[in-house]
Structures are given as C-alpha cells and as structure tokens.
Amino acid sequence: MAIQQDRLNEFLGRALDDMGGAISATLIQIGDELGLYKALARAPMTSAELAQATGTHERYVREWLGNQAAGGYVEYDPAADRYFLSEEQALCLADPGGPVDIPGAYSVIEAVFHARQRTLQNFRSGAGMEWGEHHPCLFHGTERFFRAGYNAHLLTEWLPALDGVVARLEAGAKLADVGCGHGASTVLMAKAFPRSEFVGYDYHAPSIDAARRNAAEAGVRNARFEVADATGYPERGFDAIAFFDCLHDMGDPLGAARHARAALSADGTCMLVEPFAGDSVESNLNPVGQMYYGASAQICVPVSLARKGPALGAQAGEARLTAILHEAGFANVRRATETPFNIILEAKP
C-alpha cells in the first residue's frame, strides 16, 4: 500500500494540534486560577512583570507564556518582549461575562481524566456512570461553560424566538427548569423576569444546594430549587418548561418529555436546548462534533446507561429529538433558533 506523503503530513499536523491542546489543558486552568489571563488583559507584560503582578515564579511564567503564545491563546510582541491578550482572547479567557468560558470547558475536560479508569471499564462492560459519581470539577466546569452561553443567548435570542413566551414571563408566569444543575439558567431568567416564578429541578442534591446558594448570592427571590427526577416532580400548571443541555443525558428522555407535557398548561411551551448536531454522522464530523462526541462517550452516554436508558448521546440530532417530543404528546415542534453550539426546539401541545 503506497503512502501519500501529503495526506500523512496533514494527519500528523492534526494530531500535533490535538497533542498541543491536550498538554496545554492544565496550563490553561493554571492561567485561570492564578489570574494570569486577567493580568494580561489589563496591560502587556514581560514574564517578570506578569510574575510580579500575580505573585508567581518568573521561570514558570516564562514557559507558560511561551506555551500560550505558541498555541494562539496569548499574543507576543517580540520588539518589546511583552505578551498581551487581544480583545477577543480576553473575552473568552478573562471575562466571566463573556460569550464563551474556555477555562470552564477545561474543567469538564479535567473530569474525564478523573473518570478514565471507570470509562475504560464501561467500554468493556457496557455499564454506566451516574452524573453524581464524577469529580466535582465536572459540575463546576459545566456551570461555567454553559452559563457563558446562556448569558450570551438565552435572554436576547432563545426566549424571544419562542412564540409569546417573553410576553408571558414579563406579565407573570411559572416556568420549570428541568435538570437545572447549579441553577445558572434559572437565576438568569429569574433576574430578568421578576414578576414570574421559577422552579429548578435536578436529581443531583449537591447541585441543588449549589443552585440555592447561587440564587441567594444573586439576590433572587422568585426562584426555588428542589431535588426531583425529570419524571417525578409533582407540580402542574407551568406556562413553560425548559430543558437546558440535559435531555440527551437522561435515563428516560421520553418519560421526561411526557411528564413535561402533562405538567404544562394547555397553552404552555416546552423549550428544548440541545447540543448542535446534524442527523447524520457525516454532518457532525467537524470540530464541534469532535468535542461533543468526546463528551458524549465519557459523560453523557454513561449517565443514561447507568439508568438503563437509550443513551441518545450529545449528537442525537434534531430529527430524533423531534420524534421523541411528538411521541410524548407535543403536536407542534419546530427549530426556533440555533447557535454554533446549540439547537433550540419549541414544542407545544
């Protein structure tokens, strides 16, 4: 078999990019934790100046800066021997209110290394792994990464894309956030719509504790959080029910959708936010698909299999999700809007 040198070089270049990203993962977390990115966002600095500004050791900082500049995470001015962040880099690395929280995503990546041995066993046995069995860095990282997306899109794009939901929330409505995690989405909506009532449900008790703390710190009084499975919360009469990046993880996604249908008012709306995916494997063979398939194999699928579920996976796709919503009793389902990372489906009775 003849080797095509150009294809070999292309593959090795891709593999080298991945290895560079992998070996840099902990350095990105260190830069976040030690405030290196935030300091560089304020002003260009030499390695000595950055070390002094952050109370760190210059020799380590010098090597960190070389790694970050080589990877495109930091800019370098050779004439001044100073490093700095562009506005775009600062937005994603040093701004907690930015549209993408890259260090937060790396906490999720850290979690899969903590679970590596369990994942290896799961591949052999077909067993699962509950969400709550993961290292706590998964919960922290998930909140950070998804909260950035919610801050960027939820109030300005996703909710307005739903038929009449914003007007109802402004007037005073009741919304359930199912699988709310640490409550980032719930708190954001509760602050924006003070006349409405919000209830966050999650089966992971430590996450509900964190959600209650986050709501208290934000001064939110119109949101409450309860430990409940997606098929077991008792309340009814919701004007809207939302699933943020969680239905595909569930042991019984059809049951969760049916329960939401029963808990909605006759003219209510279900919003399903899911990872962006096409309906065929080939449509997902891209960098977003690589990230989501990786998370799916190590986090999403094991959570569902732990409960004998169908393991939809993070790349379930719109057609499969729509079919589940129809089977659950929703007559009208449409794609309301999308981002490069999410699709947002609106389902009505």
Q: What is the pLDDT of residue 137?
A: 96
User: Mind listing the pLDDT tens digit of every residue in the chain (349 residues)?
Assistant: 788 999 999 999 999 999 999 999 999 999 999 999 999 999 999 999 999 999 999 999 999 999 999 999 999 999 999 999 999 999 999 998 888 999 999 999 999 999 999 999 999 999 999 999 999 999 999 999 999 999 999 999 999 999 999 999 999 999 999 999 999 999 999 999 999 999 999 999 999 999 999 999 999 999 999 999 999 999 999 999 999 999 999 999 999 999 999 999 999 999 999 999 999 999 999 999 999 999 999 999 999 999 999 999 999 999 999 999 999 999 999 999 999 999 999 999 9
**CATH says 102-348 is which class?**
alpha beta
Q: What is the pLDDT of residue 315?
A: 96
Which pTM value belongs to this model?
Answer: 0.93
> Cα(110)–Cα(67) distance, rounded to whole angstroms?
19
CB atoms within 10 A of CB 276: 20
Ramachandran area for residue 126 (φ above 0: left; ψ -120 to 50: alpha; else beta): left
Domain residue spans of the chain: 15-93, 102-348
Q: Are 64 and 36 a contacting pair, CB within 8 Å?
A: yes
Residue pair 80/71 in contact by the 8 Å Cβ criterion: no
What's the pLDDT score for residue 81? 96
Per-residue pLDDT, 2: 83
Length of the chain, please? 349
- Centre a 10 Å sphere on the Cβ of residue 234 and count the other Cβ atoms it contains: 7
- Closest listed residue to residue 167, CA positions, set 255, 89, 269: 269
Q: Tell me the CATH number of domain 15-93, given options 1.10.10.10, 1.10.10.410, 3.40.190.10, 3.30.470.10.
A: 1.10.10.10
